[in-house]
């Protein structure tokens, strides 16, 4: 799977992610990974458009619309110079510095997984560079999606079937370089990997 079309949303400042969506294991060229930023995240894919009630969306309605979750690695770079030091407005124009989203296998039976305490390991060339439990500061990711859906509705927008919403880093921001192989492994969710091709 590789796409340059409107693939989904990155929940931060309500921005559309129109960059490259690729299936793990992936291989990216230097023009794509650029500054080499990496973050391990959990993303949701929607099977259908959530339908609001008279008081807006509900947690149950959002959950029912979700097809499944993915382990992902967001590749962070910038089209500006110097990279990753631009102003807030410039970052928004730059898709919040999104270079690509690498996705693992979809997990459809996800509702009993405790996303707030997920354990994750991020490795570069088989060396663990980050290990944590429950690292996403938002904790309740479904509540985040609920807030996001209501935010979109206020602007006449909605999450469409097949679109993906990625919900923020479990590992913080790290960097990798040319030739590196990056992998992230979430317990109960699975693994995802990407290789940065050498220059």
pLDDT value of residue 152? 85
Reduce the secondary structure of 24-71 to three states and give it as a string.
Answer: CCEEECHHHHCCCEEEEEEEEEECCCCCCECCECCHHHHHHHEEEEEE
Instruction: Say if residue 14's pLDDT is above 60.
Output: no
Global confidence as pTM:
0.84
Tally of structural domains, the chain: 1
More confident residue, 6 or 33: 33
Token representation of residue 35: 């500054």
Range of the domain at 150: 2-196
Mean pLDDT of the chain: 84
Average pLDDT over residues 57-85: 84
pLDDT value of residue 9? 53
pLDDT value of residue 20? 77
Residue with tokens 């990056």: 182
Task: Write the pLDDT tens digit of every residue in 17-56.
Answer: 545 789 999 999 998 898 899 999 999 999 999 988 888 8
Residues constituting the chain: 199
Task: Write the pLDDT tens digit of every residue in 87-104.
Answer: 555 455 445 556 789 999
CATH of the domain at 122: 3.90.850.10
Instruction: Say if residue 167's pLDDT is above 80.
Output: yes
Task: Write the pLDDT tens digit of every residue in 129-140.
Answer: 999 998 787 789
CB of 114 closer than 8 Å to CB of 140: no
Q: In whole angstroms, what is the distance from residue 156 CA to residue 153 CA?
A: 5
Average pLDDT over residues 3-15: 45
């Amino acid at each position: 799977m590789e796409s340059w079309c409107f693939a989904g949303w990155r929940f931060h400042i309500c921005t559309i992610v129109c960059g490259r969506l690729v299936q793990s294991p992936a291989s990216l060229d230097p023009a794509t990974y650029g500054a080499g930023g990496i973050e391990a995240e959990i993303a949701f894919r929607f099977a259908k458009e959530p339908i609001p009630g008279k008081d807006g969306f509900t947690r149950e309605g959002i959950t029912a619309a979700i097809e499944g979750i993915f382990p992902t690695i967001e590749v962070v770079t910038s089209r500006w110079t110097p990279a990753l030091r631009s102003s807030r407005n410039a970052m928004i124009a730059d898709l919040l510095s999104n270079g690509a989203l690498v996705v693992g296998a979809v997990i459809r039976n996800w509702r009993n997984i405790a996303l707030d305490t997920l354990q994750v390991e991020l490795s570069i060339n088989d060396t663990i560079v980050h290990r944590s439990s429950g690292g996403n500061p938002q904790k309740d990711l479904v509540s985040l999606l609920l807030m996001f859906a209501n935010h979109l509705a206020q602007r006449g927008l909605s999450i469409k079937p097949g679109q993906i919403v990625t919900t923020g880093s479990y590992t913080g921001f790290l960097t990798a370089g040319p030739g590196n192989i990056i992998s992230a492994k979430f317990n109960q969710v699975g693994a995802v990997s990407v290789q940065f091709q050498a220059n």
